[in-house]
Amino acid sequence: MLKIIPLGGLGEIGLNMMVVEYEETIFIIDAGLMFPEDYMLGVDIVIPDMDYLRDNKERVKAIILTHAHEDHIGAITYLLREISVPIYATAFTLSLVKNKLQEFDLYHTAILTQIRPGESINISPFDIEFIRVSHSTVDGVALAIRTPVGLIVHTGDFKINHCFEEANVTDISRFARLGEEGVLALFSDSTNVEREGYTDSDQKVGEALAKIVAESGGRVIIALFASNIFRIQQIINIAIHTRRKVVFNGRSIEQTVAAARELGYLSYPDAMAIDVKRVNSIPDSEVMIITTGSQGEPMSALARMATGFHKQVNIKRGDSVILSSKSIPGNEKAISNIINNLYRRGARVVYDKIAPVHVSGHACQEELKLMISLTRPEYFIPIHGEYRHLVTHARLAEKLGIPRKNVLLAENGNIVSFEHLDATDLKSGTDFEKQAEKVMQQEKGTDFIFAKNKALPFSVKGMISGNVHSGRVLIDGKGIGDVGRSVLKERRNLSEDGLVVVSMIIDEETGIVLYGPELISKGFVFGAETGYLVDDAQCVILEIVEEIEAGSQSRVDLIRSRLQKALKQYFFFTIRRRPVIVPIIIEV
């Protein structure tokens, strides 16, 4: 039985990780992260729960990365702490992975193997072919996985475009040949399935950017994803044409540009790139800044420019700021704040709602239909997207003629399994039986399984056959997984109603209060208008102390629990708030 198990990326944006398993061999496709959602207060990033891999690490043979985005490679350092196996990826993807491994002191022990589109590797019993696909970063690949039960195609993130850059064109002819060979199952990117038609061309974006730059008399500042190398090259070409110097600002931009240039994906004269420290010595009309911060990250270069905390660049009247990216779900408010701050400082701000300064790297409906038509899979499994995206993609596949029973709507942790049908699986009167009888007549004396594999398109059964443990692990600082639901609930409570600390010292023998009770609040202010709250709250506390006799067993614990309950009730009754109550009671 072939098992394919998504551990992340189905029912959510980001966190992509998938396990491919046959008998004693497992390999992993991608190891991504996601950015924290609004309720995850204080959390830095989120990674997939890796318990299943940890429990089966002896069987894991390799990690394959489809492209260089954080939602596909961001968790690689955490995965390598658990499992030390070879990593296979294209040159650009590996260059960004190397930077991550060096930061976590894992580079010298990691086994990195570079692959190229069109090449294949063998991880017995799997043969895995890498197919070039276009995306919003270079060197993206899809996977054609030949397994003992059939051919599986995993698209990775892709779009089908037409441009002159050979390194950025999806190899649709290869997908068509795979369709002729016979595809058992297609696992296809669903991120952009809600958009009809085709993705706009990158040429359209280039024309829009060129027009904005031509109309700008001052500095031009363009914020984008650091991994969008094709877009960066477009901007550099515009800078060359308009005789502007280029400043690369932001650590991720600088690292990515250096890697892409070394690999030949970026080209520009040395003299046109200047250090950010020199930006104020050049006329504004000759400056173009490529920076990070398109998602409103609070410490990004663009955010610091917009708030006046950047050391070299502060936004001023006459600047043109372009956000050449799509907002990641959950970042809309942060991006809106950045835009407002830019406007306050007098800048002209251009983003995707105003001008076509960004195109998606994910296929729209017509491209998704084309992928299904090219590969003609027996089974279809939508991946990469929120649940509504998966459902919409599944319905799209049904409209193209894939039977509903062969469209498997999986979620994280589901085991998608494929196994050969035995003769006992073919029920009387079914198409399976009729085809089997026909083949057996043609192939007299031939083993039944062989005959099925040779001639029957439905000789393999696919299904969702169970579940494994999956979930999310929250990373907060250096803590991995130590922030759970209870901690998040406490943080939410603290953020909403604040904190009240009650401290007092009690004589152990007599039970008399020697000090306090003193009340200190954070986020729950005892102002002049509510000064009576302190006096009344102290009365509530003293009544509880008096009710519990000195010498009572576990007296302090009893006072503490009753005090918390009584103060919560009192504060809610008087002021309709529920602060977190922290009693500090000492017996001497």
Catalytic residue among 30, 71, 189, 319: 189
Rounded Cα distance between 210 and 225, Å, is: 19
Q: In what helix (H) or strand (E) does residue 178 lie, and over which residues does it extend?
A: helix 172-181
| 249 SS3 class | strand
Instruction: Report the 10 Å Cβ neighbour count for 359.
Output: 21
**What is the DSSP track for 494-551?**
HHHH-EEEEEEEE-TTT--EEEEEEEEEESS---GGGTHHHHHHHHHHHHHHHHS-TT
Q: Which residues make Cβ contacts (< 8 Å) with residue 200, sequence separation at least 6?
A: 356, 359
Least Cα distance to 191 among 93, 326, 370, 334 occurs for 326
Q: In what helix (H) or strand (E) does residue 52 lie, and over which residues does it extend?
A: helix 51-55
Rounded Cα distance between 573 and 301, Å, is: 47
Instruction: Report the 10 Å Cβ neighbour count for 152.
Output: 25
Supply 260's token pair. 């892409």
Is the separation of the CB atoms in 195 and 169 below 8 Å?
Answer: no
Rounded Cα distance between 212 and 319, Å, is: 12
Which residues make beta-bridge pairs with 535? none
Rounded Cα distance between 92 and 33, Å, is: 19
Q: Judge whether 507 counts as a catalytic residue.
A: no
Paired sense of beta strands 141-147 and 112-114, if any: unpaired
Q: Judge whether 384 counts as a catalytic residue.
A: no
Rounded Cα distance between 173 and 561, Å, is: 70
What is the sign, positive or negative, of the torsion defined by CA atoms of 415, 419, 424, 430? positive
Catalytic residue among 72, 135, 154, 362: 362
Is the separation of the CB atoms in 324 and 205 below 8 Å?
Answer: yes
Rounded Cα distance between 409 and 407, Å, is: 6
Rounded Cα distance between 462 and 457, Å, is: 12
**Which of the residues are catalytic?**
189, 362
